[in-house]
C-alpha cells in the first residue's frame, strides 16, 4: 500500500534536532533490526563503540547526551527566544543560562535513571527520526524526586493511514538484562494498554501534553491538539506506539587497552542477539495485550550501567 500524503509530515520533520549520523561515533549497530516473533515489536540492538585504545566509550556517550540537555528539557519557544536574544546581542549568554536551568532538575542520586531517559530521547531522534512532542522535565521542581509517568513522548505520521502516531517512551538501566526488560514492559504497559478514562495513567499524561504543548509553530500546535482531543473525530486516526530502551551490564567489553578489537566484541555481542530476542518474545507474551502494540525496542549492553549513570551525573555537575 502506498504511503498516504500528509501535510503535517514536513512540519513534524522540522521539529527534529540533530542528524541521523550523530551517534555513529558512539554506538555500533548489532545486525539488522529484528522483528520479535508473535508480536508487533522490533529490536534495535546497539553496542558501545571502542576508542583508539580499544576501550568502550561510555563516558564519551554520557558527555554527548548531556550536551543535548537543553534540547531535551527546555520548551521550544523559550529556546528560540534565547537564541534570538543571543543573535541580537552577539553573545551565547542566554542559551548558556538555559543549560544551567536544564541541568538543575535532574535527580542527583547515583541510582537515577534520568540519564536513560535522555539517552532514549537521543536514540529515538537519531535512529527513528521521530521528534520529541513533550518532555515533563520542565515541570520538575525538585532534584529529590523523579517525575511520575512516562519518560517521554515522540511523534510521527503513520505512513499507511496518514494519521498521527504517538510514541510513548520508557527506559530502564539495570545490571541484569531480564530485570531491565521486565521492568520496562511493566511500566510502559499501562500507557499503551489502558481502557481509558479520567484516572488512567495514559489519560493523565495525555492531558499534560494537551495543557503544555509547545512546538513553536502555532498552526502545528493547533493541528496536533485536534488529534489529541478525544471529542474530535481526528482522535480516531491517532495510533499509540511504544519506544523502549533496555540498558544492562555485559562482560564482553574490554577492561584494559587493546585487550580486544571491535570486530571480536561485535561478534561476541551478536552471538547473544537471538537469545535476547527470545527473552523479549517470552516476556511480551506474559504482558499481553502489549504484544499486540507496535514497540521499537533498543537493547544496549554496557560495561556497567552504574558507571554510565555516574559519568552522566558528573557531566551535569551533580557528582
pLDDT of residue 141: 45
Is the Cα dihedral 198, 237, 168, 243 positive or negative?
positive
CB 52 within 8 A of CB 258: no
Q: Which residue range is the domain that position 141 belongs to?
A: 8-56+113-306
CB 181 within 8 A of CB 280: yes
Of residues 225 and 109, the one with the higher pLDDT is: 225
- Region 40-64 average pLDDT: 98
Of residues 135 and 165, the one with the higher pLDDT is: 165
Q: Which cell numbers hold the place of 65? A: 547526551
Strand partners, 165: 156, 239
Band of pLDDT at residue 102, cut at 50, 70 and 90: confident
Q: Assess whether pLDDT exceeds 70 at residue 19.
A: yes
φ and ψ at residue 28, rounded to 5 degrees: -125, 135
Residues in the chain: 319
CB 163 within 8 A of CB 157: yes
pLDDT of residue 199: 64
Band of pLDDT at residue 125, cut at 50, 70 and 90: very high
pLDDT of residue 142: 42
Plot region of 3 (φ>0 → left; ψ -120 to 50 → alpha; else → beta): beta
Residue 155 lies in a domain: yes
* Global confidence as pTM: 0.91
Q: Which cell numbers hold the place of 175? A: 545490571
| CA proximity to 318, closest of 90, 124, 148, 115 | 115
Other C-beta atoms closer than 10 Å to the C-beta of 184 total 25
Residue 93 lies in a domain: no
Other C-beta atoms closer than 10 Å to the C-beta of 270 total 13
Q: Assess whether pLDDT exceeds 50 at residue 143.
A: no
Band of pLDDT at residue 107, cut at 50, 70 and 90: low
Residue located via cell numbers 530521547: 121
pLDDT of residue 163: 85
Residue 7 in 3-state DSSP? coil
Strand partners, 239: 165
- Region 87-99 average pLDDT: 94
pLDDT of residue 145: 40
Q: Assess whether pLDDT exceeds 70 at residue 296.
A: yes
Q: Assess whether pLDDT exceeds 60 at residue 4.
A: no
Residue 229 lies in a domain: yes
How many whole angstroms separate alpha carbon 167 and alpha carbon 165? 7
CB-hemisphere CA count at 13 Å for 253? 20
Percent with pLDDT over 70 in the chain: 89
CB 33 within 8 A of CB 9: no
CB 210 within 8 A of CB 133: no
Of residues 230 and 201, the one with the higher pLDDT is: 230
Residue 98 lies in a domain: no
Q: Assess whether pLDDT exceeds 60 at residue 108.
A: no
How many whole angstroms separate alpha carbon 224 and alpha carbon 191? 19
Q: Which cell numbers hold the place of 157? A: 505520521
Among the residues of 112-169, which ranges form H helices? 114-123
Q: Which cell numbers hold the place of 168? A: 510513548
Q: Assess whether pLDDT exceeds 80 at residue 289.
A: yes
Residue 79 lies in a domain: no
Q: Assess whether pLDDT exceeds 80 at residue 91.
A: yes
Among the residues of 68-151, which ranges form H helices? 69-73, 76-89, 93-103, 114-123
Residue 107 lies in a domain: no
Q: Assess whether pLDDT exceeds 70 at residue 218.
A: yes
CB 62 within 8 A of CB 308: yes
Counting the structural domains of the chain, the total is 1
Residue 168 lies in a domain: yes
- Least confident residue range of 83-92, 127-136, 273-282, 288-297: 127-136
Residue located via cell numbers 525538585: 142
Residue 43 lies in a domain: yes
pLDDT of residue 205: 83
| CA proximity to 113, closest of 170, 44, 178 | 170
Amino acid at each position: 500500500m502506498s504511503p498516504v500524503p500528509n501535510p503535517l509530515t514536513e512540519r513534524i520533520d522540522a521539529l527534529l534536532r540533530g542528524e541521523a549520523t550523530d551517534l555513529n561515533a558512539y554506538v555500533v549497530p548489532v545486525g539488522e533490526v529484528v522483528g520479535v516473533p508473535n508480536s508487533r515489536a522490533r529490536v534495535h540492538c546497539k553496542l558501545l563503540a571502542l576508542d583508539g585504545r580499544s576501550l568502550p566509550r561510555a563516558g564519551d556517550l554520557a558527555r554527548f547526551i548531556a550536551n543535548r540537555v537543553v534540547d531535551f528539557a527546555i520548551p521550544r519557544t523559550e529556546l528560540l527566544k534565547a537564541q534570538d536574544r543571543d543573535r541580537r546581542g552577539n553573545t551565547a549568554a542566554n542559551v548558556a543560562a538555559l543549560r544551567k536551568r536544564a541541568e538543575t532538575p535532574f535527580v542527583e542520586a547515583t541510582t537515577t535513571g534520568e540519564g536513560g531517559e535522555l539517552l532514549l530521547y537521543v536514540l529515538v531522534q537519531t535512529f527513528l527520526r521521530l521528534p520529541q512532542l513533550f518532555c515533563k522535565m520542565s515541570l520538575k521542581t525538585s532534584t529529590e524526586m523523579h517525575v511520575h509517568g512516562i519518560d517521554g513522548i515522540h511523534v510521527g505520521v503513520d505512513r499507511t493511514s496518514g494519521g498521527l502516531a504517538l510514541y510513548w517512551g520508557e527506559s530502564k538501566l539495570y545490571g541484569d538484562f531480564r530485570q531491565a526488560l521486565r521492568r520496562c514492559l511493566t511500566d510502559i504497559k499501562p500507557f499503551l494498554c489502558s481502557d481509558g478514562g479520567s484516572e488512567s495513567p495514559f489519560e493523565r499524561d495525555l492531558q499534560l501534553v494537551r495543557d503544555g504543548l509547545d512546538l513553536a509553530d502555532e498552526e502545528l500546535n493547533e493541528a496536533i491538539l485536534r488529534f489529541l482531543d478525544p471529542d474530535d473525530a481526528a482522535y480516531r486516526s491517532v495510533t499509540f506506539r511504544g519506544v523502549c530502551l533496555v540498558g544492562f551490564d555485559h562482560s564482553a567489553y574490554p577492561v584494559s587497552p587493546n585487550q580486544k578489537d571491535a570486530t571480536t566484541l561485535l561478534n561476541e555481542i551478536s552471538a547473544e542477539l537471538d537469545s535476547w530476542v527470545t527473552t523479549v518474545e517470552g516476556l511480551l507474551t506474559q504482558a499481553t495485550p502489549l504484544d499486540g502494540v507496535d514497540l521499537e525496542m533498543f537493547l544496549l549492553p554496557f560495561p556497567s550501567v552504574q558507571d554510565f549513570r555516574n559519568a552522566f551525573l558528573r557531566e551535569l555537575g551533580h557528582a
